[in-house]
Structure 1
């Protein structure tokens, strides 16, 4: 099995605060998730979308899978992604995270090359960023144990295992404005992102 090669886009969630399903967000006239997939293909040859609405993806050029353990939030999606991935380490991002930082992805890969870690994740003070991160297939049983006990917390999972932790100082060298961790939860956040992108000459619409 290859060490790297698979990337997973988590496309779950209820999108309650957005007012419509975030899986349908568009950027510059194209579905945001399609744009994310195109960017990921610069670094990965196996792209997976985890969604419980596979009917949204009939024209998307990647594999579509659903949660195996239902109703347990993002950790269920991580579990399904790892189960279906073709590489040892798997990159995870969400469908509402519009900024793909390839240089940071390459940095995390280098970090994982230096030891036998369960993944690579970014920490800010006492908080971790659960996505824009790598997880190893070796933790599938640990995730199943946690989910079967009714525990959904990615944070507690990471703290119980041996992850390579990238601190904020290092991460900000790749993303000074922290845009690689932006996620669009509300229409206000989407509009703010739209303004920023328009200033860069990139049109955004829904």
Structure 2
């Protein structure tokens, strides 16, 4: 199995703060989720959108899957995305994150390749920038799917961080020093949660 063939876009959120479904968000007359997918095509051959509203995606060329465990939050979306994927490591991003750094993705792939070669791999590779763990724009190991499902079945907690803590997953954090050294985009973790976020973003592009 290929190590880096697949990417997953999570689009199953409630969008309550935006007041309309972010899956249908357009910027400059282009639907954002398809623009995110198009950018990912530079790096991944297999792209999956996790959505509970497949009717929004007529004539969509990407894989479409829905949560198998309903109302369980983003962990359930990650789980079904990993199940669908065709690679050992899967790039996870949310549908409301418009900025992608090509150099960052290439760097992450090379980092994981080096760890595989040295036989010192991690289950998850994600950034930790500005003292904040960034749960998306990172790689998750495909085999985590079964552990996530088991965790959701037997735990009252639903957050991704609680899954890390409870199951002692090996996480490799890409830190502030690495970001500054390689001059990755500082805006790659922007997500458009509210209309105010959207207005600010549109003014800046």
TM-score (norm 2): 0.91
Tell me what 1:130 maps to: 135
* More displaced 10-residue stretch of structure 1: 154-163 or 126-135: 154-163
* Matching residue of 1:175: 184
User: Which runs of no fewer than 5 residues in structure 2 stay unpaired?
Assistant: 116-120
Distance in structure 2 (CA, Å) of the matches to 1:180 and 1:23: 19
Instruction: Give the match for residue 87 of structure 2.
Output: 87
Determine the C-alpha separation between the residues in 2 that align with 1:182 and 1:77. Answer: 20
Using the TM superposition, give the Cα deviation of residue 106 of structure 1 relative to its aligned residue in structure 2, in angstroms.
1.0
- 1:114 Cα deviation (Å)? 2.3
What is the alpha-carbon distance in structure 1 between the residues aligned to residue 26 and residue 177 of structure 2?
32
* Equivalences, count: 196
RMSD: 1.4
Structure 1, unaligned runs of 5 or more: 198-206
Aligned to 2:118: none
User: How does the TM-score come out when normalised to structure 1?
Assistant: 0.90
Residue 38 of structure 2: aligned partner: 38
The question of 1:158 aligning with 2:167 is answered no
Structure 1: distance between partners of 2:172 and 2:113: 10
Matches within 5 A, 1:184-199: 184-197=192-205
- In structure 2, what is the Cα distance between the partners aligned to 1:150 and 1:52? 22
Give the distance between the partners of 1:95 and 1:174, measured in 2 at CA: 24
For 1:51-86, what per-residue CA distance to the aligned partner results, in whole angstroms no more than 9, with x for missing partners? 000111112210000001111111111001001000
> Partners of 1:181 and 1:169 in 2: how far apart?
17
Question: CA shift at 1:169, angstroms?
Answer: 2.5
